[in-house]
Amino acid sequence: MKMESLNKLIINSCFFGKDNCFKCTLNSNKECYLHWGIKKDNKYAWIKAKFGLAEIGLIVRVLNGRKNTASFFHSFNDKKAQFWINNKDEFVFFRAKANTLDISKSLNEGEQEVLAVLLRDVIVRMNS
């Protein structure tokens, strides 16, 4: 049996910009991944990381304007990455940096609301 059939996506939401993308996924193993993508040479290069409940909660606080910034450092299998979420004016900026990639994606007010609702659902599903 293939691994993909055992681990299906429950949430798979993308926020596209001109040449970038931010994606939120939740799989059937109750793992939440955030992905930052940038289009280079007509294909996307990605930074992907698994986020835990407390981290997701902090991101929701930034999206709701109850906190201005959140930052995280992840290390997995010798891969290191840094993540920043900043609330400024009417936008929330998501930035990821790993190896030679440094990717940013801003979300407008509508996208922020959608992501906040999705992440609240992720928290509930990860705890059920």
Higher pLDDT, 6 or 78: 78
Average pLDDT over the chain, rounded to an integer: 94
Torsion angles phi and psi, residue 63, rounded to 5: -60, -35
Mean pLDDT of 82-99: 96
**CA 128/CA 122 separation, integer angstroms:** 10
Torsion angles phi and psi, residue 29, rounded to 5: -90, 10
pLDDT of residue 1: 44
Confidence band for 5, pLDDT divided at 50, 70 and 90: low
**CA 18/CA 104 separation, integer angstroms:** 12
Contacts of 34 (CB under 8 A, 6+ apart): 22, 23, 24, 25, 48, 49, 51, 83, 94
pLDDT of residue 76: 82
